[in-house]
A and B are shown apart, each in its own frame.
Chain A
Amino acid sequence: MTPSSEVAREFPATLAGPYADGLDLPYWEGLRAGELRLQRCGECGLWIWGPRWMCGQCQVFDPEWVAVEAVGRVFSWSRTWHSFIPELAGELPFITVLVELPHAGGRRVLGLLTEDGDADIAIGDAVSGIIQQPADAPWPLLRWQRAGTPPETEQGEHR
């Protein structure tokens, strides 16, 4: 994925990093390795997000972590004007996108859009992920930018 130096807008990494219990550690290690990894049940193929200890459909524990191409479409979005998070106060307004991933059974992940906060975003816009590693942050973060061409639609199961 694109290295962070090519990105116009870099956000501070607020409170990023794994849970104390380690459930989502492979997600964060995946970002360090340059990959978006989500869980997929080896038994039934169910894509899982947020992270879970087991697949509820087949009671298999510790679903494996699988690399997913970080492309998708905007499922919803918001533009924040008020300073809810002190570390992002200097970035207002910013756009958060909820991205539907066609290559992960339609699972949705959150991320900040690296474009200007006044960007004319809409549901259905094609986006692609980039991994940012802010200089003084312990963990990288997945951000999103608008893509020129929409991703192939690969209809996976969505639970």
Chain B
Amino acid sequence: MTDSFLRGAAAVVGVSEFHYKRGESPDSELRMTLRAIVEAAADAGVSPREIDGFVSYGGGENDGTVVGSSLMSHRIRWSNMIWGGGGGGAAAAITNAAVAIAAGQAQCVVVYRAMAQQDSGRLGYAKHHFDGHMLPHGVGSPAQACALRTRRMLEHDGVPESAMRSLVLADYFHAQQNPSAAAFGRPLDETGYDASRMIVEPYRLYDCSRENDGAVALILVSADRAEALGPNPAYVLAGSQGAVGGYAVDTENDLDYTSAGFGGTAGVAETLWADAGLGPDQVDVVQVYENFSGSGVAALIDHSLCPPGADAGKVMTVENLTAPHGLLPVNTSGGNLADSFVNGMGLAVEAVRQVRGTSTNQVPDATVSLFIGGPMAAVSSSVLLCTRDVL
């Protein structure tokens, strides 16, 4: 037990997520955001007008004053963007909402993210990174930037390629039970994976996340309010974020090059476990942001959920990674690869479902649920959710 003032102070009480094929949303990002928030509020049993805090990450034009005004919020008290680009701030956004509530700065906070190609184009969250010291050298996409790191993780650190494949196959396995997953009804086996075309070595087509149009919203309130609202809040146990390697300005010179950004002493993962007062072996289920399979593997290694080097292959098997009986069930809705990708925030909703007991791939008696945000980004973040009896 630690004395973190965040521990159990706030809980997720309502969620919504929906997605379309990329470019096929009938609605703008703002309209989708409002729809997701109204649905999440209904799920929570609160009025959208009592939402007084707004947090997002990864960019987007629709800040809290725009969204809150559209909802006719009584008072907008908290309007924050997690800086740091891409999905790295996804879990930090949840922590930021919990901080506002714990500190009394807001009472009902929504975390939201929407993506529509018609509004922000392809990879709208990542464009800034590729400048005159990346593009002329053939590096113009997150896939290529992450591939360089994953190549070294495989070739130098000795992580076997099977670790990547197992993560992909686990995602696709779980998607077969999730009717809203993009890959529902389209199972993938080793043969299909191995036969898929190379995108940027060492990534094959199936190693790369899809991009969707869509929106996600999660509503948080104080623990007291949460208890009054319903039987199964997902309490924020601990949250951690940081930019430890210098990724933002170091142009591939950041420390711990094969890390996903959570590792090292005083790193994001270490403070997460310390604040939570528990260790990786006490986590029941994990949603790991895998923009690419290799960076997802690196994030699991950073969190000590999987050993580094060749031993990673022993933990990273399809059997271990799949619910309900695997030792380390990951991405139980299908993840970014096989469910949907709205800048990775669908994973946070699935982390909540596991605490509620409503996942389509429910881990029996799950009480501690980890969401790891975007790896290999300027900022990295993760958050632990739990049932009340863990607190």
Contact = CB atoms under 8 A, between A and B. Distances in A.
A77 B141 CA distance: 15
B141 A19 contact: no
Interface string A11-42: 10111111100001000000000000000000
A111 B136 CA distance: 8
Scoring A50, A77, A122 by chain B CB atoms within 10 A of each residue's CB, the highest score goes to A50
Contacts of B156: 76, 123
Nearest to B136: A16
A85 B133 contact: no
A134 to B, nearest CB: 10
A89 to B, nearest CB: 11
Interface stretch (B175-183, B196-204, B320-328): B196-204
Interface in A59-91: 75-82, 84-85, 88
Interface string A43-54: 000000110100
A78 B144 contact: yes
A27 B199 CA distance: 31
Interface string B280-315: 000000000000000000000000000000000000
Q: How many interface residues does chain B have, given as a range?
A: 20 to 34
A98 interface: yes
A133 interface: no
A110 B133 CA distance: 8
Contact of A84 (B140, B201, B251, B255): B140
Contacts of B197: 81
B147 A75 contact: no
The majority secondary structure among interface residues of chain A is loop
Contact of B255 (A82, A98, A122, A159): A159
A75 B152 contact: yes
A24 B200 contact: no
B252 A94 contact: no
Contacts of A96: 137-139, 144, 148
A13 B135 CA distance: 9
B47 interface: no
Contacts of B201: 78-81
B147 A78 contact: yes
A18 B132 CA distance: 7
Contacts, number: 102
Given A84-B140, A85-B140, A88-B138, A76 B151 contact: yes
Given A50-B249, A81-B200, A94-B138, A16 B155 contact: no
A contact residues, range: 35 or more
Interface of A: 11, 13-19, 24, 49-50, 52, 75-82, 84-85, 88, 93-94, 96, 98, 107-112, 122-123, 141, 159
Given A15-B136, A107-B253, A108-B252, 13 more contacts: A52-B249, A76-B152, A76-B156, A77-B151, A79-B200, A80-B200, A82-B199, A85-B140, A94-B138, A110-B133, A110-B139, A110-B251, A112-B136
Q: 4 closest A-B pairs (Cβ-Cβ)?
A: A50-B251, A76-B152, A110-B137, A79-B201
30 contacts: A14-B136, A15-B131, A15-B135, A16-B132, A18-B132, A24-B132, A49-B253, A50-B253, A75-B257, A76-B151, A77-B148, A78-B139, A78-B147, A78-B148, A78-B151, A79-B201, A80-B144, A81-B200, A81-B201, A82-B199, A84-B141, A85-B140, A93-B198, A96-B138, A98-B252, A108-B253, A110-B134, A110-B137, A122-B155, A159-B255
